[in-house]
Amino acid sequence: MKILVCISHVPDTTSKINFTDGDTKFDTNGVQFVINPNDEFGLTRAMWFKEKQGASVTVVNVGGPETEPTLRKALAIGADEAIRVNTAATDGFTVAKQLASVIENGGYDLVIAGRESIDYNGGMVPGMIAGLTQANFVNNCIGLEVDGSSAKAIREIDGGKETISTTLPLVIGGQKGLVEESDLRIPNMRGIMMARKKPLTVAEPVDAIAQTTSVTFEKPAPKGAVTLVAPDNLDELVNLLHNEAKVI
């Protein structure tokens, strides 16, 4: 089984976010980038298939040379090879178009993508990939088993879970639950050294026209000041809640 894991290069959630050019562009200065968490769950599941069923695992990213350290980390975790499509990830459609081209040229049986990336939270790419490649698709996937050309997936739905039987080729939009957080892998020194020797192919992009564009960004409003009220002064608390907070 050939598995392709789509990797997004996203800011660490602890990074301080700023914007430039009149709040129209993301400022990458001083920002630490990591593997998108939803993709990391998918990569860990792919490693299980590699170890238990002998699958081959390729990771792919759409982006410039600055994303290669993230791909090298995925190789250090255990992926066999990496592909970087040499173009900026401008919107969901262009990313899906590039990934679909890689999939069609590579003949992959299973494509594991994150349900969404934590930078733009578009949630569009996995479904678009499936549509462009005419593959079966399961989103919000929290469980996956593959037996030959058959697959059984569990997806999260409102108020519960749904178990689905389907066939390969298959695209899933994975999330936490596909593996547990305790199963995530930290690259060891041996993996890091081996990753340096694994192939990282740079592919040129196919033509694609962006369907969306970011007009402007806005940071959340700063938190308001905190007013402390003595625990025995209930009258003042009620007054503040009624006249200032206006919640009662």
- Which residue shows structure tokens 């578009």? 122
Distance (Å, whole) CA 73 – CA 213: 30
Q: pLDDT digit string (tens) for 186-219?
A: 999 999 999 999 999 999 999 999 998 889 999 8
Residue 213: its pLDDT value, please?
87
Residue 175: its pLDDT value, please?
96
Residue 223: its pLDDT value, please?
83
Distance (Å, whole) CA 97 – CA 83: 15
Residue 221: its pLDDT value, please?
85
Closest CA to 215 of 11, 62, 21: 21
Residue 225: its pLDDT value, please?
83
Q: String of b and e for 56-79 (b: at least 16 CB within 10 Å)?
A: bbbbbbbbeeebbebbbbbbbbbb
Residue 2: its pLDDT value, please?
98
Residue 224: its pLDDT value, please?
80
Q: What single-letter amino acid sits at 60?
A: V
Residue 207: is it exposed, middle or buried by C-beta count within 10 angstroms (0-12/13-18/19+)? exposed
Residue 168: how many other CB atoms lie within 10 Å? 17
Domains belonging to the chain, first-starting first, are 2-220 (3.40.50.620)
Distance (Å, whole) CA 146 – CA 169: 11
The helix (run of H) or strand (run of E) holding residue 143 is strand 136-147
Longest dimension (CA), the chain: 71
- Strands 2-6 and 56-62 come out as parallel
Residue 90: its pLDDT value, please?
87
Residue 227: its pLDDT value, please?
87
Q: Which residues of the chain have pLDDT under 50?
A: none
Distance (Å, whole) CA 124 – CA 99: 13
**β-bridge partners, 152:** 145, 165
